[in-house]
Amino acid sequence: MLQDDIAAIARIDAVPRILDVVCRMTGMGFAAVARVTEDRWIACSVLDKINFGLAAGGELEVSTTICDAIRDLGKPVVIDNVAEDPVYCNHHTPMMYGFQSYISMPIFRRDGSFFGTLCAIDPRPNRVDTPETVESFRLFADLIAFHLDAAQAVEASGRELFDARERHKSERARLASSEAALLDERQSSELREQFIAVLGHDLRNPLSSISAGVSFISKAPGHPKVPAMLAIMEKSIARMTGLIGNLLDLARGRLGDGMVLERNVDHPIGPELEHVIDELRAAWPARVIDAKIAVVEPVYCDRARIAQLLSNLVSNALTHGAQDQPVVVAVVVADAGRFLELSVENGGPAIPRDAIANLFHPFFRSGVRSSQQGLGLGLYIASEIARAHGGALDVTSTAELTRFTFRMPLG
């Protein structure tokens, strides 16, 4: 079982690049992904620039590591300078392994189980206890967990298909069913290939921005450009957070058990949607967003997901719509209280007819703006949220106006 986990990490092409970025970002000389259980600590992948002497497959006595406590607490541990740290200055682990700076982030699987840690150490003190560094480690840990869950889902699907074909070789009807499952698996494989290619492209830019900023600040910490560099790095981290959030939603929808909703009527939905509009107005100060949210009574739904749907639709309109025309948002209870209706309109050129058919597919980009950023998942996730609520998301587009409409039955 543990050997399978080590092999699973070895098959993730992104892990060596993550360890390289971790070392360059923190200035540390050793980084690793470790599988940690109650009684074992095993290095799955290692980047060692300080001759620490531990290679992939190597083990440490788990009781001698800080990762043992991280497994119990489920929280990261970050130390700039062991000698000055009130908690770890006399801890046996840094004394035993001779490090002064340390950071370790827990890796949790989709089912909540603890896999291990993404960690880095160095014999010198390093400035690592910063929001930017900690959030980057958390994003990297989430990305590793995503790859592990995706690979597990694919392997499970492959095993089920193999078993079905072996059981029913003599039955033509069963064979036809197996062939259909094989076709679906091929389509999933194509989706994974596209996902990996797009992920590598879109995460590279914010990672490069963070890496360049860290390099600049480490060489000239007092330079007047440092505040601007930090602002750029914060935006890059926010962008990576959004990208990984969308990817996790995709994984749940395509490779997991589908989108899970937390529906209730505890609070009205109007304030949640107004907050989304306020955030987008702040992010796009040069654009006009006209919003009429006329829903005062509670609605049985997942308010956070409906807010995400609205955010994705308005962001899409701001990105692709005419820059000199307002984006118009309306949220009402329609048809005598039978439906919740949410619409987003923008001016600008019509969406090509052949593009509309693929508009709600993952990784699809209409090509209206070749320089646009993003994974092409916003509209796909919006449509999945609509479908999970028993509703539908439709689009109409003319030379004057493009309108997305979400309708969800009430009661």
Domains of the chain, start order: 2-128 (3.30.450.40), 146-254 (1.10.287.130), 270-409 (3.30.565.10)
Percent share of the chain, pLDDT over 70: 76
Q: What is the DSSP string of 315-338?
A: HHHHHHS-TTS-EEEEEEEETTTT
- At 322, give phi and psi (nearest 5°): -60, 130
Contact by Cβ (8 Å): 398, 350: yes
Tokens of 116: 């291990």
pLDDT score of 391: 93
* CA distance linking residue 237 with residue 214, whole number of Å: 13
Q: What confidence tens digit (pLDDT) does each residue in 296-346 have?
A: 888 999 998 898 899 889 988 998 899 999 999 999 998 888 999 999 999
376: alpha, beta or left? (left if phi > 0; alpha if psi -120 to 50): left
* Residue 152 pLDDT exceeds 90: no
| pTM (2 d.p.) | 0.47
pLDDT score of 42: 95
Contact by Cβ (8 Å): 161, 178: yes
State how beta strands 59-60 and 77-79 pair: unpaired
- How confident is the prediction for the chain on average, in pLDDT? 82
**Edge-to-edge strand order for the sheet containing 41-48?**
59-60, 41-48, 30-36, 114-122, 101-108, 77-79
Among the residue ranges 9-18, 183-192, 369-378, 393-402, the one predicted with the least confidence is 369-378
> Would you give the DSSP letter of residue 113?
-
Percent share of the chain, pLDDT over 90: 45
pLDDT score of 386: 92
* CA distance linking residue 367 with residue 44, whole number of Å: 40
Q: What is the DSSP string of 131-143?
A: HHHHHHHHHHHHH
CA–chain centroid gap for 271, Å, is 26
Q: Averaged over 25-35, what is the pLDDT?
A: 95
Q: What is the DSSP string of 232-254?
A: HHHHHHHHHHHHHHHHHHHHHHH
**∠ CA(293), CA(294), CA(295), 5° rounding?**
100
Tokens of 315: 């962001």
